[in-house]
Every structure is written in structure tokens, then in C-alpha cells.
């Protein structure tokens, strides 16, 4: 994401944050991170860089523990 888009997204989040609970904000953040991880995994798969399914499940379990 370019700096301009990042600043635009940050501004939108700041504008919305007055109406969001910290729990809602955390859910949004977690959804964004999860989607990013899935998209990165799909790109790796398309490029022939595959991750062992068991390793992937372990990584996701660890990530969910941190939520």
C-alpha cells in the first residue's frame, strides 16, 4: 500500500474511531490481518512456494491465540 493510500485509510479510521468500541476496532484489525495472510498464502501458492498444511494450521492456531 502506498503512503497516500495508507494516510487516507488512517484518516478514515480516525474519523470512525469516535463511534467504534476498542473491541470493534480490534475485530476489524484482526479481519484485515487474516485477509492479508490468506492473500499472501495464495500468492505464494501461485508462485509455487507451498507451505506444509500442518505448518499452516499451527501458524493460524498461534495467530488466533494472540487475538
pLDDT of residue 2: 60
- Average model confidence (pLDDT) across the chain: 79
CA atoms in the 13 A half-sphere facing the CB of 46: 6
> HSE (CB half, 13 Å, CA atoms) of 18?
3
10-14, 16-20, 43-47: the lowest-pLDDT one? 16-20
pLDDT at 1 over 70: no
pLDDT tops 80 at residue 17: no
Amino acid at each position: 500500500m502506498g503512503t497516500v493510500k495508507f494516510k487516507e485509510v488512517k484518516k478514515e479510521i480516525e474519523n470512525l474511531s469516535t463511534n467504534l468500541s476498542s473491541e470493534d476496532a480490534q475485530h476489524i484489525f484482526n479481519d484485515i490481518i487474516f485477509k492479508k495472510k490468506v492473500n499472501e498464502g495464495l500468492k505464494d501458492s501461485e508462485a509455487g512456494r507451498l507451505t506444509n498444511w500442518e505448518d499452516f494450521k499451527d501458524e493460524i492456531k498461534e495467530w488466533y491465540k494472540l487475538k
